[in-house]
Amino acid sequence: MIELVDINLKYPKFEIKNLNLTIKSGEIVAITGNNANGKTTLIKIIAGLLKPRKGTVLFDGQKKSDQKIGVVLQNPDNQIIFNKVYDDIAFTLKNYKVPKEEFDSRINEALKLVEMEDFAQSETFSLSTGQKQRVVIANMLAIHPSIMIFDEASVYLDTSTKQVLYRIFKRLKEQGVTVIFTTNLIEEIVYADRTIILDSGEVVAFKQREALLKDLSVFRELGFYIPLKLALIEQLQNPEEIDDEAILQVLKEKLK
């Protein structure tokens, strides 16, 4: 469990003031809101990359934790160092002091999770942006994290690669890993158990998926464009049907 207690931090355009929230172990949490409203700042505080002016981050009630946190940023080119996929992941394992005899099994396992098991010996510079992003994710998966944080990780991905990312979220949850991801694409909230909505550094809502999808008014109040998919889910009042085929089937039944 991650607890943010009385977090305070001031920026020129927004201020995080007395923020308190709890993220349960093993859940998927989306963080959304308009640009420059604190999404990246919040995950940096959780990851320990940014220290708040005031307040505490607790992991299972402790200020210091041995839990491994994997962080995936928007641009994969900023996180890839080596020319070969295997060497890049091996470097991460070495930094985390993983025994060398475990390298092969961990790298193969991580690449399989991101559906790139045949790319261990590939040159990283020859990969597409989506494939590079998956290599970055594999880097983090190889350390066996307890928490995975994605900062708008889907922004450079094509539609099919985004689906791979969403499957990774699901697999991580099945393994008991806590997943936190920021997004400007509010249709991605369908892949989260709960969603934090930020405005000017303030949490204006922290809702379960089902409740949020049945009433999207908080997004309308913040000036968000509501994608057709979410509008249909809201109108159908059936937040369990989140994929396109399921929504079409519900529509067909209602039109009969």
Q: How far apart are CA 244 and CA 150, in angstroms?
A: 24
Which pLDDT does position 254 carry in this prediction?
63
- pLDDT per residue, tens digit, the chain (256 aa), is 899 999 988 887 778 888 899 999 999 999 998 877 788 889 998 988 888 889 889 888 787 767 789 999 888 888 899 999 999 999 999 999 999 999 999 999 999 988 999 999 999 999 988 899 899 999 999 999 999 999 988 887 888 888 888 999 998 999 999 999 999 899 999 999 999 998 888 889 999 999 999 999 999 998 888 988 888 888 877 767 667 777 777 676 666 6
Domains by residue range for the chain, with CATH: 1-67+147-161+173-223 (3.40.50.300), 80-145 (no CATH)
Which pLDDT does position 236 carry in this prediction?
79
For strand 54-59 and strand 28-33, is the pairing parallel, antiparallel, or unpaired? unpaired
Which pLDDT does position 60 carry in this prediction?
83
Which pLDDT does position 178 carry in this prediction?
94
DSSP letter for 20, please.
E
Among residues 242, 236, 223, the alpha carbon closest in space to that of 184 is found at 223
pTM: 0.88
> Under 8 Å CB-to-CB from 220, ≥6 apart: which residues?
226
Q: How far apart are CA 232 and CA 51, in angstroms?
A: 41
The amino acid sitting at 127 is L
